[in-house]
Amino acid sequence: MTERLSNAQIAWRAAQDIADGAYVNLGIGFPEMVAQFQPAGRQAIFHTENGILGFGEAPAPGEEDWDLINAGKKAVTLKAGAAFFHHADSFAMVRGGHLDVAILGAYEVAETGDLANWSTGPKGVPAVGGAMDLVHGAKRVAVLTDHVTKDGRPKLVKRCSLPLTGVGCVTRVYTSLAVIDIVCRRFVLREKLPALPVDRLQAMTGAELALDGPVGDLTAPDL
Amino acid sequence: MDKTVASLAEAVAGIGDGASVMIGGFGGAGAPIELIHALIDRFLATGSPKKLTVINNNAGNGHVGLAALIEQGMAHKLTCSFPRSADPRVFTEKYLAGDIELDLVPQGTLAERIRAGGAGIPAFYTPTAYGTQLADGKPVEEFDGRPYVRERWLKADFALVKAECADPFGNLTYRMAARNFNPLMCMAAAVAIAQARRIVPAGGIDPEHVATPGIFVQRVVEVPDPRQEEALNRAGAHHP
């Protein structure tokens, strides 16, 4: 029995909610895995904020073109129908409500929809990139995350303790244990691992889990 | 009209101490390595320019391009969104030692501030950074029930950009994702200087394909085989 979903399985679950023809921005790192799990028969168009719509997978080693990179500065390829544009147009796509979904990582998500995912505090060199832009404007802002930190503390909380990326911006959270919507400043449980009792899930969550309608089984294939 | 200059040294002439310089590129894509190195070479020969304010998305990588400029101590302030890279040691050490000031700006806000600077729009409102520490002290106003942060335009004395093709009128095309900040910076700088892989005669660029109209560009210089930051770093290159 699965005790928790792997990162690949969380990404797979998020991919099931992406409609055919959706315009999607995937955050750097873990969320990039979502692109591998598009359901058969659906094609999303991936946006990278440095100026490409319609990029594809990484090229073979040695085939990189360093003018063709994603926001993580990794080499990518183009799909038929791709487009290039400058940064002001790229962020117009982001803030202007043109993206269907942005999928991001998180340090903390609050029941209010606040997200902290850019800074762990004042140490070192601060860097924000496009994180604060990407949380605004997409029709859905989804987060992929482990349900708890490596040392077992909840990542879904009442109020974020780390510096905020955005206020009231997250609409759905896919975790290693559950799928949770944020509705009217509350966490609403939509799916959970079948063998996990609600009270145990609640104990690993830093704010109240509201039940509003049926709770589905969160399942994913072995990946 | 001919905006072509014969050498890289001539292209970067007039960039003096204390100048503000926008440098195009996102990471290595679109980074005008040869123009930056020409500026470093002048500094090494003459001690100028120094105390530059540099505007770029990043803070350099390795020991070439922008990282090399910072390594020489030519910049006293950097405005950027993401001062991290595969090898950010040059900037990190200067920053932690207090030798360079960092003005951190969200990436889309940086792009729009530059666009606004070029478009004659002194300020605008954006949802980005509302309620975060990067909006501390900035005016907030509600529009249709949502709060937005007021941001100011950003202009510069000079822009250094990398183009694919140029003509004597300064019309530019770019190559793939090397476009990024380059068209915006041409608009926002008093003097925009473009290095281009090819300079073609007037009429050599289809007007339908011009990405930056020449009115935004003051100098063009041909660099037929431009180097790429990633390739240089993989080879362990340093400049000088």
Range(s) of the domain holding residue B43: 17-104+157-225
**Helix/strand/coil percentages in chain B, nearest 5:** 30, 30, 40
Residue B111 in domain: no
Residue A1 in domain: no
- For residue A59, pLDDT beyond 90: yes
Reference A27, options A58, A70, A87; nearest CA is: A70
Alpha-carbon distance of A219 to A178, in angstroms, equals 10
Are B182 and B209 within 8 A, CB to CB?
no
Residue B10 in domain: no
Residue A223 in domain: no
Residue B49 in domain: yes
List, as one string, the DSSP characters of A37-72: GPPTT---EEEETTTEEEE-SPPPTT---TTSB-TT
- For residue A66, pLDDT beyond 90: yes
Q: What is the dihedral of CA B218, B223, B229, B233, to 10 degrees?
A: -140
Higher pLDDT, A3 or B115: B115
A108 is catalytic: no
Alpha-carbon distance of B203 to A106, in angstroms, equals 51
Alpha-carbon distance of B22 to B134, in angstroms, equals 21
Alpha-carbon distance of B133 to B146, in angstroms, equals 18
Residue B151 in domain: no
Alpha-carbon distance of B195 to B223, in angstroms, equals 6
The total domain count for chain A is 1
Q: What is the CATH number of the domain that holds A117?
A: 3.40.1080.10
Are A135 and A166 within 8 A, CB to CB?
yes
List, as one string, the DSSP characters of B152-175: E---EEEEEEEEEEE-TT--EE--
Q: What is the CATH number of the domain that holds B176?
A: 3.40.1080.10
Alpha-carbon distance of B118 to B115, in angstroms, equals 5
The total domain count for chain B is 1
- Number of alpha carbons in the 13 Å side-chain half-sphere of residue B6: 0
CA dist A83 → A46, A52, A80, B32, B204 (Å): 11, 6, 9, 23, 23
B231 touches chain A (CB under 8 A): yes
Out of A84, A129, A137, name the one closest to residue B176 (CB). A84
Instruction: Provide the pLDDT for residue B150.
Output: 98
- For residue A194, pLDDT beyond 50: yes
Residue B7 in domain: no
Cα B211 to chain centroid, rounded? 17
Confidence tier at A123 by pLDDT (50, 70, 90): confident
Alpha-carbon distance of A92 to B34, in angstroms, equals 31
Whole-structure pTM value:
0.97
Alpha-carbon distance of A104 to A218, in angstroms, equals 20
Are B190 and B228 within 8 A, CB to CB?
no
Residue B194 in domain: yes
The residue of chain A with its CA nearest to that of B57 is: A129
With an 8 Å Cβ cutoff, are A88 and B115 in contact?
Answer: yes
Question: Terminus-to-terminus CA distance in chain B, angstroms?
Answer: 35
Smallest Cα distance from B168 to chain A, Å: 23
Instruction: Provide the pLDDT for residue A207.
Output: 98
pLDDT per residue of chain B (240 residues) written in tens, 0 to 9: 999 999 999 999 999 999 999 999 999 999 999 999 999 999 999 999 999 999 999 999 999 999 999 999 999 999 999 999 999 999 999 999 999 999 999 999 999 999 999 999 999 999 999 999 999 999 999 999 999 999 999 999 999 999 999 999 999 999 999 999 999 999 999 999 999 999 999 999 999 999 999 999 999 999 999 999 999 999 999 999
Smallest Cα distance from A51 to chain B, Å: 6
Residue A143 in domain: yes
Smallest Cα distance from B213 to chain A, Å: 14
Residue B8 in domain: no
- For residue A2, pLDDT beyond 70: no
Question: pLDDT tens digits, residue range A77-97?
Answer: 999 999 999 999 999 999 999
Q: Which residues pair with A75 in a beta bridge?
A: A69
With an 8 Å Cβ cutoff, are A91 and B174 in contact?
Answer: no
B211 touches chain A (CB under 8 A): yes
B33, B82, B124: best to mutate for the A interface, most A CBs within 10 A: B82
Peptide bond into B49 cis (omega under 30): yes
Alpha-carbon distance of B21 to B70, in angstroms, equals 13
Which amino acid does the sequence have at A134? L
Burial of residue B137 (CB within 10 Å: 0-12, 13-18, 19+) is exposed
User: Is residue A137 helix, strand or coil?
Assistant: coil
Instruction: Provide the pLDDT for residue A1.
Output: 43
Range(s) of the domain holding residue A151: 7-217
Residue linked to tokens 């990162």: A7
Instruction: Provide the pLDDT for residue A117.
Output: 95
B179, B184, B209, B228: best to mutate for the A interface, most A CBs within 10 A: B179
Q: Which residues pair with A142 in a beta bridge?
A: A103, A172
